[in-house]
Amino acid sequence: MIKIVLLGAGNVATHLYKGFKNASNIEVVQWYNRSKKAIEAYKNDVNITDNISDLVDADVYLIAVNDDAIEALTNSLPFEKRLVVHTSGSASLYDIDMKHYRGVFYPLQTFSKGVDLDFTTVPICIETLRKKDFKILEILGQSLGCTTYKVNPKQRPALHLAAVFVNNFTNQIYRIAHEITEKHGAEFDILKPLITETARKVQEVSPYMAQTGPAKRNDKKTIKRHLKLLDNPHQEDIYKLMTESIKKTHGR
Amino acid sequence: MIKIVLLGAGNVATHLYKGFKNASNIEVVQWYNRSKKAIEAYKNDVNITDNISDLVDADVYLIAVNDDAIEALTNSLPFEKRLVVHTSGSASLYDIDMKHYRGVFYPLQTFSKGVDLDFTTVPICIETLRKKDFKILEILGQSLGCTTYKVNPKQRPALHLAAVFVNNFTNQIYRIAHEITEKHGAEFDILKPLITETARKVQEVSPYMAQTGPAKRNDKKTIKRHLKLLDNPHQEDIYKLMTESIKKTHGR
């Protein structure tokens, strides 16, 4: 049984709490948040607190707070030489106060509020300084049903950056497609199967191999027609830059 | 039974042929291509020809050739007042010679060579001049198992443009994420569940509602860190432009 104290009450913390509750060999012994109100709904299920000096003993102190708050929070913990890990993709392991055994437990997935998460679709990127801490976090991840990956301080920020591309930037591309369809009175819904298939394809072949379309073919006529259709200069900039990018990749 | 003559031998034509073969109320009575070689593999299943003057009677002449070839091909057809439709998202209905009854049967999906297509995931955008032609094409699409949509000459090019965004541009975003992970020795595979989830999310909520991340939060520290990590000016340009785009959309 791995005993956990969870710190933070955001989206990630809440999803992890629910995951841990369903895992047979994990016990959340306490849930801390600076404001008790955010976790009050769970007070009958778990020991909740807003007092940092009340923290109980645990195998792992799991910190799911804003990146900027990690350093101060870990510094304020009233103990040392225990395993304290954050869940950020971006913050350094060294943001955790050096009095602790330090680690990172980064779930590389997008979390939607109110939607139950299928943890089997959540890869966990683990970074630790000590081998035995890695083992604990690995078991923690596997108990949730996640696939775990050992990453180093160079790989994790790169994965976080790449995640911004495939998640935020892709989603913004969808958004612009939505704007285009709306503007011309067409249904965005018609694009949904294509969105699904585009994501499915790269599960099997590389994005390089999966590419098709006017930019790859350097089909100047279609590109010109598309640019004419876009009367929004910002959308035009994106069309041009992405088209250039595809041409560059495919040697056009 | 709808009788079809299929013209062309590319990816779209081949997938449609296979779909029609499996549909109970459709008969491909002939398959034409200017080079017989490309369709020779099917000669025992269907009447094939490379001679335009040999074309037989049919309810629909379905043209799946390059956009640039539509006009000349339809002009050369040795008959008139029959239903002739192309499958392009981009070409005009008026690219079809005016001696025919004209229509468009545009499958808005990405077709992979060698992978059998699930037609239930293919929306068909239909454009015709006559109501009765629309009916025939609607039955044709439904017989394949597709969902059909009536579109007008303004909507279809917009859908095609939007499809380039959600398919080609999204795929290029994946490609850049692949470059970033490779460069830092991380596994692109770790991103695959996130790619799937990002596409799944917008099946249910709008891309606007689905957005998260540093650009939406205007998290300058993370953005700065990401830009520092990108040493490729082209990737930097894309990062900056997409970040600006998200800020713009979300009023930052």
Contact A202 B192 (CB under 8 A): yes
Q: Which two tokens stand for residue A61?
A: 């102190």
Residue predicted with more confidence, B190 or A115: B190
- Topology given in CATH for the domain delimited by B157-249: N-(1-d-carboxylethyl)-l-norvaline Dehydrogenase; domain 2 (1.10.1040)
Q: Cβ of B176 under 8 Å from any chain A Cβ?
A: yes
What is the pLDDT at residue A86? Answer: 98
Q: How many CA atoms lie within 13 A of B165 on its CB side?
A: 31
Residue B131 has pLDDT above 90, yes or no: yes
State the Cα angle at A14 between A25 and A1, rounded to 5°. 10
Using pLDDT thresholds of 50, 70 and 90, give the confidence band for residue A231: confident
What is the pLDDT at residue B173? Answer: 98
CA–CA separation, A165 and A200 (whole Å) = 17
Contact A177 B199 (CB under 8 A): no
Beta strand residue intervals within B101-195, DSSP E: 101-107, 123-128, 147-150
What is the pLDDT at residue A245? Answer: 97
Give A150-194 pLDDT, tens digit per residue. 999 999 999 999 999 999 999 999 999 999 999 999 999 999 999
What is the pLDDT at residue A79? Answer: 97
What is the pLDDT at residue A237? Answer: 98
Give B25-84 pLDDT, tens digit per residue. 999 999 999 999 999 999 999 999 999 999 999 999 999 999 999 999 999 999 999 999
Give B75-125 pLDDT, tens digit per residue. 999 999 999 999 999 999 999 999 999 999 999 999 877 777 899 999 999
Separation in Å, CA A43 to CA A1, A59, A168, B5, B168: 22, 21, 34, 69, 48
What is the pLDDT at residue A164? Answer: 98
Enumerate the residues of chain B whose CB falls inside 8 A of the CB of residue A148.
none
* Mean pLDDT for the stretch of residues A108-125: 89
Enumerate the residues of chain A whose CB falls inside 8 A of the CB of residue B242.
165, 168-169, 172-173, 238
* Mean pLDDT for the stretch of residues A41-49: 96
Least confident stretch, A28-32, A111-115, B62-66, B228-232: A111-115
What is the pLDDT at residue B116? Answer: 79
State the Cα angle at B139 between B135 and B145, rounded to 5°. 145
Give B191-221 pLDDT, tens digit per residue. 999 999 999 999 999 999 999 999 999 999 9
Contact B29, B3 (CB under 8 A): yes
Pairing of strands A48-49, A60-63: unpaired
DSSP B240: H
CA–CA separation, B187 and B198 (whole Å) = 18
Give A47-96 pLDDT, tens digit per residue. 999 999 999 999 999 999 999 999 999 999 999 999 999 999 999 999 99
Cβ neighbours, 10 Å, residue A119: 22
3-state helix/strand/coil string of chain A? CEEEEEECCCHHHHHHHHHHHHCCCEEEEEEECCCHHHHHHHCCCCCEECCHHHCCCCCEEEECCCHHHHHHHHHHCCCCCCEEEECCCCCCHHHCCCCCEEEEEEECCCCCCCCCCCHHHCEEEEEECCHHHHHHHHHHHHHHCCEEEECCCCHHHHHHHHHHHHHHHHHHHHHHHHHHHHHCCCCHHHHHHHHHHHHHHHHHCCHHHHCCCHHHHCCHHHHHHHHHHCCCHHHHHHHHHHHHHHHHHCCC
Q: Which of B73, B53, B51, B76 is nearest to B64 (CA)?
A: B73
Task: Report chain B's terminal Cα–Cα distance, integer Å.
Answer: 57
Q: Cβ of B109 under 8 Å from any chain A Cβ?
A: yes
Using pLDDT thresholds of 50, 70 and 90, give the confidence band for residue A111: confident
Which residues sit opposite B150 in a β-bridge? Answer: B126
What is the pLDDT at residue A115? Answer: 76
Residue B235 has pLDDT above 80, yes or no: yes
Contact A177, A188 (CB under 8 A): yes
* Mean pLDDT for the stretch of residues A115-141: 95
Enumerate the residues of chain B whose CB falls inside 8 A of the CB of residue A244.
234
What is the pLDDT at residue B204? Answer: 94
In this complex, the residue of B67, B158, B166 whose CB is nearest that of residue A184 is B158
DSSP B211: -
Q: Which of B77, B79, B107, B82 is nearest to B14 (CA)?
A: B107
Give A202-222 pLDDT, tens digit per residue. 999 999 999 999 999 999 999
What is the pLDDT at residue B184? Answer: 96
Measure B105 CA to nearest chain A CA, in Å. Answer: 14
Residue A36 has pLDDT above 80, yes or no: yes
What is the pLDDT at residue A114? Answer: 74
What is the pLDDT at residue B28? Answer: 98
Domains of chain A, by residue range, sit at 2-151, 157-249
- Topology given in CATH for the domain delimited by A2-151: Rossmann fold (3.40.50)
**Concatenated DSSP letters of B113-140:** TTS---GGG-EEEEEESSHHHHHHHHHH
Average pLDDT value for chain A: 96
Residues 6+ apart with CB under 8 A from A232: A179
Measure A25 CA to nearest chain B CA, in Å. Answer: 25
Enumerate the residues of chain A whose CB falls inside 8 A of the CB of residue B119.
none
Q: Cβ of A117 under 8 Å from any chain B Cβ?
A: no
Residue A13 has pLDDT above 80, yes or no: yes
* Mean pLDDT for the stretch of residues A124-151: 97
Phi, psi of B104 (to 5 degrees): -125, 140
What is the pLDDT at residue B187? Answer: 97
Measure B134 CA to nearest chain A CA, in Å. Answer: 18
Task: Report chain A's terminal Cα–Cα distance, integer Å.
Answer: 57
Average pLDDT value for chain B: 96
Q: Please tell me which residue of chain B has the smallest CA distance to A206.
A: B175
State the Cα angle at B198 between B234 and A168, rounded to 5°. 40
Measure A95 CA to nearest chain B CA, in Å. Answer: 14
Cβ neighbours, 10 Å, residue B20: 21
Contact A197, B121 (CB under 8 A): yes
Could you report the predicted ipTM of this complex, rounded to two decimals? Answer: 0.95
Residues 6+ apart with CB under 8 A from B231: none
What is the pLDDT at residue A175? Answer: 98
